[in-house]
Amino acid sequence: MPPEAPRPALGLPLSGVRVVELAHVAAGPFAGMLLADLGADVVKVEPPTGDQMRAWPPFARDEDGGAFSHNFASVNRNKRSITADLKDPDQLAEVRSLVAAADVVVENYRPGVLDRLGLGYDEVSAGHRGIVYASISGYGLGSPYVNDGAYDVVIQGMSGLMSVTGEPDGNPVKSGVPVGDFTAGLYAAYTIAAMLPQVRESGTSVRLDVPMLDCLIGVSALQTSEYWGSGREPERLGTAHPRNAPYQGFSAADGDLTIAAGNDKLWAAVAEVVGLPHLVHDPRFVTQGDRVEHQRELAGLLGEQLAQEKRAHWLTELRARGVPCGPVNTFGEALADPHVEATGLVARLDVPVAGETPTVVYPVRISGLAPRLERGAPGLGAHPEVVEEWAGEWSA
């Protein structure tokens, strides 16, 4: 049998895909960055004053008074930037020419704004060779709230997420990470990548309606199924779990840790480590259901023991017995963890004013491919040449 011919090396999956990003702040730019990380040529169209996130601290500053937002840099890697006043007919025509040459549009304007400018889906798709047009908004195009403004905290509240976040006796709490924005960005990028092959092959354009509210409810599968299955509202439990115990955070002598004893064997190991092996036979704690029913009492007993030694001691002992556990880190501690260095999660990129700056790279490892680190977040309007470049390639 003749030897098998060598297979061609793989490239980034979205190489050659052109994306126009008409988006600002978080959800749309995050979706655009994910596409750029996977190889797409993403052109960010900004107003002359720039994406409003450019004004968010913290800033890098130089001796000439220049400033660049680290927040902006965190969601705009691997893109190019042009500026356009969409109320100026000539500049609007340039943006339209970009869209005509694009494969994808990502936008998160309030519904109706781009339609009035002639950049809505109906006008853009008419006569187009096939485009994926993704609209990210608070509530989506079919919602009774379609004209209402939405920010992440509003969406977290309306989704039910805040009702299950926080301590049992406290008020609802917002997630510290803007999960409404970033979940919508993930869904948008995922669906764009999924639809592209069909659209490019068929020439049939498609609009993606990406409501932040629906996306956040979409990832709340355990809570919605709990409600439908039991007829009861899911409750706030702090760091505890409605179906497992001990499965929560605790305080050691010098810091916090989490323990996840998801079955009877792991529970027995926890009881042994903390010096309370007799609890395994306590009628309150024999089965998982027993432990959940009495988890406040159980947490109190374990907490008293865990507070007597330093966190590292408990983590060492628990890990030695195969119990899932970990420290409750600050972000500084998380970024300094040996795991981050071992997986290559953080790299450095040049950005305006700040120079070489750390960035969290695309976190999925693709065998044979390095994370794309072509450019840091762009300076405002730094790539005006892209209009002629795309127009020339498209006409050719």
Residues involved in catalysis: 181
β partners of residue 350: 356
CA-to-CA separations, 47 to 7, 66, 88, 96, 169, in angstroms, rounded: 45, 19, 11, 15, 46
β partners of residue 206: 132
β partners of residue 116: none
Helix orientation angle between 386-395 and 89-101, rounded to the nearest 10 degrees? 50
Q: Taking the mean position of all CA atoms in its chain, how far away is CA 43?
A: 20
- End-to-end Cα separation, the chain, in angstroms: 44
Is residue 206 within 8 Å of 132, Cβ to Cβ? yes
Q: Which residues contact 123 (CB under 8 A, 6 or more apart)?
A: 115
Is residue 95 within 8 Å of 48, Cβ to Cβ? no
What would the DSSP string read from start to end of 60-105?
Answer: EE-TTS-EEEHHHHHT-TTEEEEE--TTSHHHHHHHHHHHHH-SEE
Largest CA distance in the chain: 79
- Which pairs count as long-range contacts for 49-58, CB under 8 Å and 24+ apart, including other chains? 50/83, 50/380, 51/24, 51/25, 51/76, 52/24, 52/25, 53/24, 53/25, 53/26, 53/29, 54/380
List, in sequence order, every beta strand (DSSP E) within the chain: 18-22, 41-46, 59-61, 67-69, 79-83, 104-107, 132-137, 206-211, 247-251, 256-260, 325-327, 346-351, 355-360
